[in-house]
Amino acid sequence: MTRRLLASIHDVSPRFEREVDVLAERLDRRLGAARFAMLVVPDHWDQASLAADKAFQARLRGWADAGVEMFLHGWRHLDSAPQGFRAQHMTAGEGEFSALDMAEATARLRRGRAVVEDAIGRPVAGFIAPAWLYSADALAAVRAEGFALAEDHMKVWRPADGKVLARGPVITWASRSPARIASSLFFAGLARWGLQPLATVRVAVHPGDTGVPALLDSLDATLARLLPGRMAARYGDLGG
């Protein structure tokens, strides 16, 4: 059995260029060059248009040329009318696809895909919703639009036929408040031991992590614990 570790940088946007650089360099050193994915937001919070930033487009294309997998990660990463406890309280209103209907989800998927694929010069690897939250219509739209891969907090799957390619919770960190920092450090400390039996373990980092040294230390400890006996893999390696 091939044992894998999948790592991803979320919220990749011109808005967070410095933070993305820090995370990409850190993952390169620990996993090997370009052995991670980037989740790209075309216009983060309507304040950072990728389509208008030629310099950042060129950077994305360079990373993609080096082998970094590029996923579409919503359109704006912000839900202007969050619904439900998870979207409103656990994600600070960033569960963009958590309540979209089919028409709006399809429109955002098409528009976002066009922007990202124009920037990187190749198809995206798949779609991952902000905060890993999808409405039923959003899931249907991801399938109808032919995205090769999708992910939520508990699994990676192939939308075409629903086949699950990896199971288990993502190890991730939160930087929005002292309480969330503490709880994410606690979970990561447990998960890097408790998830060892899984064939595939996923680790996700966010731009805000770079501002909290304890979170970066936890990331390093997590990778050091999980990597021995695993390959730093790409989502495309899941096959299926």
Specify the pLDDT at position 176.
87
Report the CATH architecture of 4-238.
Alpha-Beta Barrel (3.20)
Judge contact between 46 and 66, C-beta under 8 A: no
Euclidean distance between CA atoms 65 and 56, whole angstroms: 14
Rounded CA-CA distance 31/56 in Å is 23
Looking at residue 240, its pLDDT comes to 57
Between strands 4-12 and 200-205, the pairing is parallel
**Which pLDDT value is given to residue 156?**
98
In tens digits, what is the pLDDT along the chain, a chain of 240 residues? 789 999 999 999 999 999 999 999 999 999 999 999 999 999 999 899 999 999 999 999 999 999 999 999 999 988 765 444 444 444 567 789 999 999 999 999 999 999 999 999 999 999 999 999 999 999 999 999 999 999 999 999 999 999 999 999 999 999 989 999 999 999 999 999 999 999 999 999 999 999 999 999 999 999 999 999 999 999 999 975
H-helix or E-strand spanning residue 1:
none
- So what's the pLDDT on residue 93? 72
What span, in angstroms and rounded, lies between the C-alpha atoms of 49 and 42?
Answer: 6
Q: What is the pTM of this model?
A: 0.94
DSSP letter, residue 32: -
The dihedral over CA atoms of 30, 5, 118, 24, expressed in degrees to the nearest 10, equals -20
Domain ranges within the chain, ordered by starting residue: 4-238
At 82 the pLDDT is 47
Q: What is the DSSP letter of 122?
A: S
pLDDT at residue 81, rounded to an integer:
57
